[in-house]
Amino acid sequence: MGLVQPIATRRSATGIPTGKLAVWWLIGSEIVIFGGVLVSYIILRHYHADWTEEAAATNVWLGGLNTFVLLTSSLFAVLAHYYMEKRNDAKKASMYLWLTVVGALTFLVVKSFEWTHEIQHGYVMTKSLFWGFYYTAAGIHGLHVIAGAVIMGIIAIQIRQGKHYNRVELIGLYWHFVDIVWIFLFPLLYIAK
């Protein structure tokens, strides 16, 4: 006789589905990671008025373009959630997830052009503390974008196979958080000059 193990789908203490609770905790830990970097940056920026000159070299238009791309990809992610949960339409949900992946790839392409241009002009990570923060913060964020795009692609395939519908919401939560991090990175690294 085979051993059937029950799957814990809902936590009794919080009443929140297990997967969703895990994603909320992941986001909670990410707040501390990104928060630590951003708080350090803000404090040091306050005591280094000369960072204004360094920040002047960042491209506000490319940063703005990426802000638009991420905000739009967040819309696609929430629409994927809507069509999966409310309409039970895996085909449309999958399509919106793929559109979100396209947004992630667009973000990364724009970022790679931006970084190539900056590195070619000598604005490398070791040039100064400002650029150290710039590449660290944007780099960690970029890694999250890559991870999100890969996971989203996997889930888009899975739901077309009729599996793991609940994961559409989970990857959406993660993606919106990645968007929120960029919402704060954009003014800190690009606008405050």
Partner 1 sequence: MSEHVDHGPGFYVKTWGILLVLFAISVIGPIAEIRWLTLITAFGVAVVKAYFVAARFMHLDIEKRYINYMFATMLLMMLLFWGGIVADIGAHRGSNWVRIAPSQVQAPGSLSQPKVNAMKVEQSDETTSEEPTIESEGH
Q: How many CB atoms lie within 10 A of CB 167?
A: 21
Nearest distance, CB of residue 191 and partner 1, angstroms: 4
Nearest distance, CB of residue 83 and partner 1, angstroms: 8
User: Where do we find the tokens 């990410």?
Assistant: 30
Which range binds partner 1 by CB under 8 A, 102-110, 143-151, 154-162, 183-191? Answer: 183-191
User: Where do we find the tokens 């395939």?
Assistant: 157
Nearest distance, CB of residue 51 and partner 1, angstroms: 9
Residue 26 binding partner 1, by CB under 8 A = no
CA distances for 186 relative to 48, 115, 158, 161, 181, angstroms? 19, 15, 33, 38, 9
Say whether 17 sits in a helix, a strand or coil: strand
Distance of CA 157 to the CA centre of its chain: 20
Distance CA 114, CA 119 (A): 9
Cβ closer to partner 1: 29 or 120? Answer: 29
Distance CA 9, CA 11 (A): 7
Distance of CA 140 to the CA centre of its chain: 10
Site for partner 1, residues 57 to 116, rule: CB under 8 A? 60, 64, 67-68, 71-72, 74-75, 77-79, 81-82, 84-86
Nearest distance, CB of residue 77 and partner 1, angstroms: 7
Residues near partner 1 (CB under 8 A) are 14-17, 20, 24-25, 27-29, 31-32, 35-36, 39-40, 43-44, 47-48, 50, 54, 60, 64, 67-68, 71-72, 74-75, 77-79, 81-82, 84-86, 127-130, 132, 165-166, 169, 172-173, 176-177, 179-180, 183-184, 186-187, 191-193
